Amino acid sequence: MRVRLGYELLYDCPQPTPVLLLLSIHHSHFSDIVLPDHLKSEPALVTDAYRDGFGNWCTRFVMPAGRTRLSADAIVNCKDTPDEVAPQAQQMAVEDLPAESLVFLLGSRYCETDRLSQTAWDLFGNTPPGWARVQAICDYVHEAITFDYEKAYPGKSAVNVLEEGAGVCRDYTHLAVTFCRCMNIPTRYCTGYLGFMGVAPPHGPGDFAAWMEVYLDGQWYVFDPRNNVPRLGRILIARGRDAADVPLTHTFGDNELQGFKVWADEIDENTVSL
């Protein structure tokens, strides 16, 4: 399956404003890229790129005073099967986990394991460890939270999500990540593109998506508490402990986001040009 994806962001800044951008397709998809998602800017900007501590590709630059347009448009080959389902995948004992997974057991900015540990054990302590436990967590979050853009705000944490019972995909993910970590399952927060391939209309506006990856039986598996079904066309951008590690844009100064478009659509396999 071939997917055309990209974004267009319009910013207005009262003064020159430094920016960190985490919107490049993750390196795990590099062999699948047909046309790369090179950053385009109007006006032209001098950019620099680096890898962060989680291996994500980041771009830094300074937006000038006034309006700046940031965009990218790419084509990526994507598997035509949905997210893997492995019901027999087992939870590993903490002492047997690889060292690099341990950071994803810890509390973080939006995932307060210390405040939700007892709640998690009360809710899921009697579920079978492993895949079934993670699915039980996703089922609970999916049913307990109502999707509502108007209920989203930047500082919303897992505790807030549980108390308020509403949010967006980021909020569903933060709550499920927290519950999994409370149950000693390494879980990392993911952002990326997720189109509507295989989903019956009506469809909402294009947007970036959040989901999570859990470590079971020696490998990472995708779970999506917002949609709670295996999906097609998932393209990863970045991974981290939570949204604080992988903001789409991190701006160091006043600015106004005046335009926001995202697309991720299946195209004909013979279509290559933009």
Q: Is 175 left (phi over 0), alpha (psi -120 to 50) or beta?
A: alpha
Q: What is the dihedral of CA 232, 214, 149, 111, to 10 degrees?
A: -170
Residue 174 CA to residue 159 CA, distance in Å, equals 9
**Strand, coil or helix: what is 258?**
strand
Say what the pLDDT of residue 126 is: 98
Concatenated DSSP letters for 35-100? E----EEES----EEEE-TTS-EEEEEEEPSEEEEEEEEEEEE--SS-S---TTPPPPPGGGS-GG
Q: What is the dihedral of CA 55, 25, 147, 201, to 10 degrees?
A: -160
Say what the pLDDT of residue 274 is: 46
Other beta carbons within 10 Å of 69: 14
For the domain spanning 94-232, the CATH number is 3.10.620.30
Say what the pLDDT of residue 270 is: 61
Q: Using pLDDT thresholds of 50, 70 and 90, give the confidence band for residue 271.
A: low
> Residue 161: is its pLDDT beyond 90?
yes
**What fold characterizes domain 2-79+248-267?**
Immunoglobulin-like (2.60.40)
Q: What is the pLDDT of residues 8-46, one digit of tens each?
A: 999 999 999 999 999 999 999 999 999 999 999 999 999
For residues 1 and 77, the answer to whether their CB atoms sit within 8 Å is yes
Residue 186 CA to residue 182 CA, distance in Å, equals 9
Say what the pLDDT of residue 135 is: 98
The residue extents of the domains of the chain are 2-79+248-267, 94-232
Q: What is the pLDDT of residues 61-120, one digit of tens each?
A: 999 999 999 999 999 999 889 999 999 999 999 999 999 999 999 999 999 999 999 999
| φ, ψ at 183 (rounded to 5°) | -95, 15
> Residue 216: is its pLDDT beyond 70?
yes
For residues 177 and 242, the answer to whether their CB atoms sit within 8 Å is yes
Q: What is the pLDDT of residues 128-158, one digit of tens each?
A: 999 999 999 999 999 999 999 999 999 999 9
> Residue 202: is its pLDDT beyond 90?
no
Q: What is the pLDDT of residues 233-248, one digit of tens each?
A: 999 999 999 999 999 9
Q: Using pLDDT thresholds of 50, 70 and 90, give the confidence band for residue 203.
A: confident
Residue 49 CA to residue 89 CA, distance in Å, equals 37
Around 45, how many Cα atoms within 13 Å sit in the side-chain half-sphere? 26
> Residue 167: is its pLDDT beyond 70?
yes
Q: Is 38 exposed, middle or buried (0-12, 13-18, 19+ CB in 10 A)?
A: exposed
> Residue 269: is its pLDDT beyond 60?
yes
* Nearest of 231, 227, 225 to residue 140 by alpha carbon: 225
Q: What is the pTM of this model?
A: 0.95
Say what the pLDDT of residue 200 is: 86
